[in-house]
Amino acid sequence: MFSYLISRFRQFRRQRRQGGQVAALSQADATALAAQAPPDPARVLVVRNDSIGDYLLYRPWLRQMSAAVRGRGQRLTLVANALWAPLARAWDADVFDELVVVDFGRFAKDLAYRAETLGALGALGFGEIVYPLHAREASVENFIRFLGAPVRVASQSGQQGPWVELINACYTRLLPSTPAVLFEYDRNREFFENWQRGAIKTDAPLVLVPGGTAAAVPLRLPAAVHEAAVAEAAAGPYIVLFPGASARQKRWPTGHFAQLARGLYRHFGARYRLIIAGSAADDAHAQRMVQAAGPGVPLENRCGQTDLPGLAALVAGARLLISNDTVAAHLGAQAGVPLLVLLMGENYGKFFPYPAALLGAPCRCLFPPSQEARFARGDFSTPARDPRIDQIAPARALAAAIELLPSV
């Protein structure tokens, strides 16, 4: 009884805090969009505020949507997360007419920045707003309630709560979505096909074959990435180790990476260079890894030395990529590079493993033993607690790497 009361009290406090956030953001959004340009039927706005890996799995469907929009004689404006906007500029500039770059971490907290961003959007005037995320974020999409576009489209994601209901009421179309877990590429396909056929929430969800449209809508990196990869590989074959990840619990320990590097060097010798890749924020992990591996293991630290397109080229030129569950793993999968992913498996099937039809090279996923035991029983549900990625033994990773990259 006491635990139930505590739970109810915490729920009440969360709802109260959220109620204050709803009021503050709604007032800010309404004020910022009080004066808008008249809706222009020729302008379509697509808003994506998710992470880099999400964008990589959306790119083929953005291209499909762009073709459909332009086929109707309209123009497409893409609101891009600042995290992956450089990729949109470098790889997809041909599919949008305007790019609006937003720091969404700041957008949800800095009301002055939010007002400035929304004022600029409101001045453009859109006939249609499309928010194609399945895992929607109310603190981001709240502003769509105050845009004057006569057509506003989102996914019926299954999320619940007063704020979600308030926002849902602003959409003119909520598209049906499959309740089961879908690989994110197929989730984006589901949204696009429902949008294209004019579906509404009462329509039956599509029946999708995972990766079934890979031949028609391939999931591949641009040719320019592979051209740049040739220069990366000119100095000799190499293996890329990617120890970083945005969430601490998704990072395989640097000590484990160091043991793996020692094992790779013992097995292959100088046949392959060992390159540590990552952002400037990953440099601390790389330095600990180099120190733990010892002076006898030649590790080249490239963290912070490449931008996103440069990282893609570095990965694409590798003979093998060993990575946590993060952007590098998606780059490797889409570049057609042999890939070993070390991951918790808490979202099995959503981002990894990739459907075989979408892969151009072998991909092996290693999970903590507790997760693999559950998977063997057919239990792919989200665990009550985050699985411990440190339970993946370096010896298992080394054996998997050797299988992916034999020494012959």
- Interval 53-72 mean pLDDT: 97
Same domain as 165, residue 77: yes
Same domain as 137, residue 34: yes
Q: For residue 407, name the pLDDT band (cuts at 50, 70, 90).
A: low
Q: For residue 295, name the pLDDT band (cuts at 50, 70, 90).
A: very high
- The count of structural domains within the chain is 2
pLDDT in tens, 181-214: 999 999 999 999 999 999 888 888 887 776 666 5
% of residues, the chain, pLDDT over 90: 85
Q: For residue 8, name the pLDDT band (cuts at 50, 70, 90).
A: very low
Would you say residue 10 has pLDDT above 90? no
Same domain as 396, residue 358: yes
323 found inside a domain: yes
280 found inside a domain: yes
pLDDT, residue 257, reads: 98
Sign of CA dihedral 58, 30, 165, 125: negative
Same domain as 188, residue 228: no
Would you say residue 2 has pLDDT above 70? no
In which residue are the tokens 């000799």 written? 236
Same domain as 376, residue 238: yes
- Interval 275-297 mean pLDDT: 95
pLDDT, residue 223, reads: 95
311 found inside a domain: yes
Same domain as 192, residue 113: yes
pLDDT, residue 93, reads: 97
59 found inside a domain: yes
Same domain as 254, residue 114: no
- Interval 369-385 mean pLDDT: 92
Element at 397 (helix H, strand E): helix 394-404
Its domain, for residue 364, covers: 223-404
Q: Which of the two residues, 261 and 386, has the higher pLDDT score?
A: 261
- Interval 311-315 mean pLDDT: 97
What is the rounded CA–CA span in Å between residue 185 and residue 354? 9
pLDDT, residue 218, reads: 83
373 found inside a domain: yes
- Interval 46-71 mean pLDDT: 97
Same domain as 347, residue 281: yes
Token duo for residue 407: 């020494």
pLDDT in tens, 45-55: 999 999 999 99
Q: For residue 406, name the pLDDT band (cuts at 50, 70, 90).
A: low
What is the rounded CA–CA span in Å between residue 381 and residue 358? 23
Same domain as 296, residue 176: no
What is the rounded CA–CA span in Å between residue 372 and residue 380? 10
Token duo for residue 116: 């400035």
Domain of 246, CATH number, reads 3.40.50.2000
The DSSP letter of residue 339 is E
Q: What are phi and psi of 182, to 5 degrees?
A: -125, 145
Map residue 245 onto helix, strand or coil. coil
pLDDT in tens, 327-338: 999 999 999 999
pLDDT, mean over the chain: 92
Question: What's the angle, vertex CA 21, arms to CA 19 and CA 25, rounded to 5?
Answer: 125
Burial profile 168-180: b = 16 or more Cβ within 10 angstroms, e = fewer: bebbebbbbbbee
Q: Is 391 exposed, middle or buried (0-12, 13-18, 19+ CB in 10 A)?
A: middle
Same domain as 165, residue 265: no
Same domain as 298, residue 238: yes
What's the N-to-C CA distance of the chain in angstroms? 65
290 found inside a domain: yes
pLDDT, residue 19, reads: 59
What residues contact residue 241 under an 8 Å CB cut-off, 6+ apart?
A: 257, 260, 261, 274, 275, 276, 277, 289, 299, 322, 323
Beta strands in 25-184 (DSSP E): 43-48, 75-81, 98-102, 128-131, 151-155, 173-175
For residue 310, the number of C-alpha atoms closer than 13 Å in the C-beta half-sphere is 9
Map residue 280 onto helix, strand or coil. helix
- Interval 107-131 mean pLDDT: 96
What residues contact residue 107 under an 8 Å CB cut-off, 6+ apart?
A: 49, 113, 114, 117, 140
86 found inside a domain: yes
pLDDT in tens, 15-24: 445 557 899 9
Helix axes 254-268, 394-404, angle to 10 degrees: 40
Map residue 155 onto helix, strand or coil. strand
7 found inside a domain: no
pTM > 0.85: yes or no: yes
Same domain as 253, residue 188: no
What is the rounded CA–CA span in Å between residue 194 and residue 203? 9
